[in-house]
Chains A and B, each alone.
Chain A
């Protein structure tokens, strides 16, 4: 039997994804129009849902000839139903990159019958770790500037309004984003409650409060839905790219703002409202300066309550994946123990407001 004639064929199997690597080289060669060797293959710490693999690609000939630092993004073992496919995420990245949002440039979408679909994007330098970015001032020497950049970048994303032909898979935009969220989260709690015979009165209180206080809706925009510290790269103090677009969809733009400002994403610095990085004022000023809606701190409270409700629901859903046996994981099991803290935030934010 002939060994496959392939640049990687002679490398020993070091347990670092030898077969996926061969497959990726083949598919990338088709996409690039020239032979591709992946000279390195390094798993980056990624989400539980997707794997990010840093590669050094050497393209021998063709329009992409040269050495490139790329990241390949592919499904991990267990994907979550609400997250987008790699094909869809690639389409989102193309749309937001074209709109001037700071993201890793999407390059090639690769799919065949031999394994999970993946796409290649240009590797962007920077740090994501929330506890480091919120603690270490050498990483973020000018915090007001980074907070404004985060706001401005979100405003560029929120310029994208439905309908967009290449994003038809996102479905129809909700007429009222807040009410759609409340209905959605109630449905989520009902599904978990039916499985476990449990209920979460503090979360129900938060949802009842949100149902009563729903603000007049803004027109739907493209939302990231996980726009927070931990999901973007900071290099030399500047925002370089926003990652993890798998939850993107249409909704009220203030939903993303509330998620960014919510206390649960401030890591080491709960006193800095904008993701533990800087002040809400700077974040909201950067947002408005780039054409985003003028949003007051008081107006964001509603969306912060919704953010805590959503994170609590996701935490319960993650714990259920462990409890049901579908994915035994200590990390998923422990996620349920975040919920009481989120409940405390919901109670604190709603108590002083009728």
Chain B
């Protein structure tokens, strides 16, 4: 049985120590590297917190491709990418289904990489 606290809790504690105790003391020219390290830890914590991320993507890929999605999922994404390039999703309901999938997948990726960007992007009217 694995020892607790495990990976996620340790990373959270390590990040808190870095942000609260170390970064305030750093000279300006070292802060950037430390802030990058804190950001990398935050991404890792979010990734560890969302173990089921790929389940939804897998289901949507199977629906779009009309066949069970591969494991690992990368193969199914390669197939999808090739079909997009061939123009199979250019129009109509195929296009709408693809965009729905891509938007959902991008939101899931943003939830790990950069949740602040989850706000809907603004386009000039």
Contacts and interface: CB of A to CB of B under 8 A. Distances in A.
Interface string A309-353: 000000000000000000000110110011111011101110110
Q: What's the dominant secondary structure at chain B's contact region? A: helix
Nearest to B101: A201
19 contacts: A199-B78, A199-B81, A199-B82, A201-B101, A202-B102, A204-B80, A204-B84, A205-B98, A205-B99, A212-B90, A280-B124, A330-B37, A337-B112, A337-B113, A337-B114, A339-B113, A343-B102, A345-B121, A347-B103
B85 interface: yes
Given A193-B81, A208-B87, 13 more contacts: A198-B74, A199-B74, A200-B81, A204-B81, A205-B99, A208-B90, A273-B124, A330-B37, A340-B114, A343-B106, A344-B110, A344-B121, A351-B99
Contacts of B33: 330
Q: What's the dominant secondary structure at chain A's contact region? A: helix
B40 A330 contact: yes
Interface of B: 33, 36-37, 39-40, 43, 74-75, 77-78, 80-82, 84-85, 87, 89-90, 98-99, 101-103, 105-107, 109-110, 112-114, 117, 120-124
B41 to A, nearest CB: 11
A333 B40 contact: yes
A197 B106 CA distance: 19
Contacts, number: 99
A343 B109 CA distance: 10
Contacts of A202: 102, 105-106
B36 A331 contact: yes
A263 interface: yes
A247 interface: no
Contact of A201 (B36, B40, B81): B81
Nearest to B110: A340
Contacts of A207: 85
Contacts of B122: 270-271
Contacts of A341: 110, 113-114, 117
